[in-house]
């Protein structure tokens, strides 16, 4: 018997699991078509029955944030579900099972208020515990910070809304409460967050700017990295816009603006078009890909690698609407010392090439 299209439509459609391993955006998106025989029922109760491990508090926070829509219209948690309603909901990053302990780790605070904090993450720090990193993470440091604030409660904790790679430096946004987290999650889902990164990549570009629209998913040959995939079951929509900042002949400094936030997206996309990030070991950038065979040039590149023993990627700016005041917020981060040093070396080499 052939599949019934209407039956498939009524199934849970887990369209964008932002806290999955293939995304740096920490939210979940669900879409439901209500069955024809559904009796009138509060939408929070309906969604609790439909979404595994979704607490009533998480669902009601989504309602308060305006993240539950029925037939395209925002509804409250007491809305009564009707047959054939089309329901969409964006849920914030759920609490992890891993217990997190406060640790006195220095953090560079760019901005902070009662609802959120913006930090400038150093390279080498993991954002949250997991995959063998159960301490020494940014989340451990943030927990220590919030518990030391005047009037702090033992229940206070940081609420993540996105993440950047361990060896990527730069701007990161974290919420201080669930409502702020939920409202920010919707902005990431709607692609209204403004994000730019600076990257040093191998090779020269024929054009000054461009767009890479190529789905990204887990590399079937190496589960630790991502890859461009044309298989819809493994690859997810990913778009990166880039423009040239400065050319150094063998390498180029570029700005990248993200539409989507897949794990390793810039690193994967740049490698895909033949411009892997400088010293990116996972994606082929930690060897000499462009330049001469002269020993002085090889030594020069090796010196650059030593100066910056990580991929040359920095989260430069972040813009968003404040989840409570609705004021537009925008933050920029200066290049870290290692990236500055490598850029200066390439700038000098371009003027005074050595053989």
Q: What is the pLDDT of residues 292-319, one digit of tens each?
A: 888 999 999 999 999 999 999 999 999 9
Average pLDDT across each block of 10 residues of the chain; the chain has 355 residues. List them in order.
44 45 82 94 95 89 96 96 96 80 96 98 92 86 95 92 96 96 95 96 97 93 89 85 97 96 96 98 96 91 97 98 98 97 95 67
Distance of alpha carbon 141 from alpha carbon 114, whole angstroms: 17
Rounded to whole angstroms, how far apart are CA atoms 106 and 135? 14
Q: Take residue 35 and report the two structure tokens written for it.
A: 């069955």
pTM comes to 0.90
Catalytic: which of 22, 165, 219, 338?
Answer: 165
Which domains, and CATH codes, for the chain? 5-92 (3.10.290.10), 109-186 (3.30.2350.10), 194-351 (3.30.2350.10)
- Residue 44 a catalytic site member: no
Six-digit token string for 271: 């490698």
Q: What distance in Å separates the CA atoms of residue 327 and residue 115, rounded to the nearest whole number?
A: 13
Strands 313-321 and 169-175 come out as: parallel
Q: DSSP 3-state assignment of 52? A: coil
Give the contacts of 146 (CB within 8 A, at least 6 positions apart). 152, 156, 157, 158, 176
């Amino acid at each position: 018997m052939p599949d019934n299209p209407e039956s498939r439509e009524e199934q849970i459609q887990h369209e964008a699991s932002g806290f999955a391993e293939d995304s740096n955006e920490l939210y979940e998106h669900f879409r439901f078509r209500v069955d024809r025989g559904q009796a009138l029922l509060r939408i929070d109760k309906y969604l609790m029955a439909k979404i595994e491990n979704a607490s009533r508090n998480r669902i009601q926070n989504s309602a308060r944030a305006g993240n539950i829509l029925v037939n395209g219209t925002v509804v409250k948690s007491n809305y009564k579900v009707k047959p054939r309603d089309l329901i969409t909901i964006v849920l914030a990053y759920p609490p992890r099972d891993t217990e997190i302990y406060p640790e006195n780790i220095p953090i560079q605070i760019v901005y902070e208020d009662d609802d959120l904090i913006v930090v400038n993450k150093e390279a080498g720090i993991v954002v949250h515990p997991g995959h063998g990193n159960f301490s020494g993470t940014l989340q451990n440091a943030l927990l220590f910070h919030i518990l030391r604030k005047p009037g702090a409660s033992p229940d206070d904790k940081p609420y993540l809304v996105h993440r950047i790679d361990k060896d990527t430096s730069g701007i990161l946004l974290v919420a201080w409460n669930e409502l702020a987290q939920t409202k920010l999650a919707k902005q990431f889902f709607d692609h209204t967050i403004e994000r730019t990164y600076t990257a040093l990549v191998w090779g020269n570009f024929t054009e000054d700017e461009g767009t890479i629209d190529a789905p990204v998913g887990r590399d079937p040959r190496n589960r630790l990295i991502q890859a461009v995939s044309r298989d819809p079951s493994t690859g997810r929509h990913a778009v990166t816009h880039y423009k040239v900042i400065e050319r150094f002949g063998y390498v180029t400094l570029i700005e990248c603006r993200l539409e989507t936030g897949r794990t390793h997206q810039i690193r994967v996309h740049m490698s895909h078009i033949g411009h892997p990030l400088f010293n990116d070991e996972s994606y082929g950038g930690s060897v000499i890909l462009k330049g001469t065979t002269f020993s002085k040039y090889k030594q020069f590149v090796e010196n650059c690698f030593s100066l910056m023993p990580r991929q040359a990627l920095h989260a430069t700016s972040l813009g968003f609407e404040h989840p409570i005041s609705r004021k537009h917020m925008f933050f920029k981060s200066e290049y870290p010392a290692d990236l500055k040093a490598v850029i200066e070396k390439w700038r000098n080499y371009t003027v005074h090439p050595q053989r």
